[in-house]
Chains A and B, each alone.
Chain A
Amino acid sequence: EIVLTQSPGTLSLSPGERATLSCRASQSVSSSYLAWYQQKPGQAPRLLIYGASSRATGIPDRFSGSGSGTDFTLTISRLEPEDFAVYYCQQYGSSPFKTFGPGTKVDIK
């Protein structure tokens, strides 16, 4: 089973700053089947990125994903107030297992 590690655990930034979130896998992720989700308190997660770098429908272009193999990155180019949330990566290529990382909290500095 592939284990995902996310860093940092918490990222404290100000609106307008750039956020760089890391997700590392214990084994290579098949066909870049790596997704990123945003979750706000009391809400279901929202898909941001799939296939490591493709934005989901309706996701602003300030969100971008990159990486392959075992190292992946989510970048938020300029933080908006609504972007302060918890972000999870997930691999879904190692069928039947589709594990999530532990999450990175982006909070206001």
Chain B
Amino acid sequence: QVQLVQSGAEVKKPGASVKVSCKASGYTFTSYDINWVRQATGQGLEWMGWMNPNSGNTGYAQKFQGRVTMTRNTSISTAYMELSSLRSEDTAVYYCAREGVYCSSTSCYAGGFDYWGQGTLVTVSS
């Protein structure tokens, strides 16, 4: 079965960086984009960016441009999200999510985020 398992909770000081991992299993890692989404306590979902594990191509939300880096290690089917220059407002649960694909008889299309990791709480505090 498809699973995305994320690394454990982190506590960081302002100005530091954090790197969260997301290990995929149960499917071909390089066949589906990985997205990162965060959620502050009591708030909504915020999309951060995506990565194509096959090519390594990425796309980031404007808000995080210059501060976020998404990478992968295909040999261990793991995606990473690194966020730098942390501030207190970055305190949130960070999720990785697989972007599904569905195919008709003629074409294939993106199909929403069909599998999610369990979330990683990142706390930024002095």
| Closest Cβ–Cβ distance, residue B46 to chain A (whole Å) | 7
Cross-chain contact B62 with A37 (CB below 8 angstroms)? no
Residue among A37, A50, A99 with most chain B CB within 10 A = A50
Q: How many residues of B contact A (CB 8 A)?
A: 27
In angstroms, Cα B17 to Cα A4, docked, is 30
Main secondary structure of the interface of A (DSSP, over half): loop
| Closest Cβ–Cβ distance, residue A84 to chain B (whole Å) | 17
In angstroms, Cα B18 to Cα A99, docked, is 23
| Contact A97/B61 with A44-B119, A50-B102 known, Cβ cut-off 8 Å | yes
In angstroms, Cα B46 to Cα A51, docked, is 20
Residue among B97, B99, B112 with most chain A CB within 10 A = B112
Q: How many residues of A contact B (CB 8 A)?
A: 29
In angstroms, Cα B109 to Cα A56, docked, is 14
Q: Mark B113-124, 1 if CB is under 8 A from A, else 0.
A: 110111100000
Q: Is B110 an interface residue (CB 8 A)?
A: yes
Point out residues on B near A: beta carbons under 8 Å. 35, 37, 44-47, 49-50, 59-62, 95, 97, 99-100, 102, 109-114, 116-119
Give 11 A-B contacts (CB < 8 Å), ordered by A residue. Answer: A35-B112, A39-B45, A44-B117, A47-B100, A50-B100, A54-B111, A96-B50, A97-B47, A100-B37, A100-B44, A102-B44
